[in-house]
Amino acid sequence: MKAIMLGALLLPLSGMAADTVELCIDEHPHRIQVEIADTFESRARGLMGRESLAEHAGMWFKYTSERPATAGFWMYNTLIPLDIAYLDSDMKIVSIITMEPCPSIDPNRCPAYRPGVPYYGAVELNKGYFERFNIGLGRKFKQCE
């Protein structure tokens, strides 16, 4: 069975037309600006082609299914290294993986980054973000008020 591969968008977050929201982590004032990927097309495109990503910016992959996802994400045509946090149905982090760009011109040669647990969403940020800001497993995202 082949995993559905999702990756990384063409416009910088600073001037995008796509929907964006602020996510907070737990009850702390830590805020990140995330672009929402909630359609098959936007999730498949992800952050592909981006040459940079602002420090507190990323992408939130939202799923509407009542069943959890299990497929991996990939980094085909993604130019920057990213961290991905896989989220449970309460938006609690259940897995964090660092993903490296895949330079191959053959998408079948790019690895899939599977969380090893079912998930209902994911947040991608710059590589090292979660470690730098001490955000680990069990921490919970929510839309800021």
Q: How many residues does the chain have?
A: 145
Task: For tokens 């009542």, name the residue.
Answer: 66
Q: Quote the pLDDT of residue 66.
A: 81
The strand order across the sheet containing 57-62 reads 93-99, 82-87, 121-126, 57-62, 31-37, 20-25, 141-143
User: Which string of DSSP letters, residue by residue, matches 39-66?
Assistant: SHHHHHHTTTT-S---TTEEEEEE---S
Q: Give 10-residue mean pLDDT values along the chain (145 residues).
A: 32 50 84 92 90 95 86 91 96 96 86 94 97 94 90
Angle at 116 between CA 104 and CA 27, to 5 degrees: 105
Q: Give this prediction's pTM.
A: 0.84
Dihedral sign of CA atoms 107, 18, 66, 30 in order: positive
User: Would you give the DSSP letter of residue 51?
Assistant: S
DSSP β-bridge partners for residue 35: 20, 59
- What pLDDT shows up at residue 17? 41
CA 24 to chain centre: 15
β-sheet bridge partners, residue 25: 141
Identify the structural domains of the chain with CATH numbers, from first to last: 13-143 (2.60.120.1140)
pLDDT at residue number 87: 96
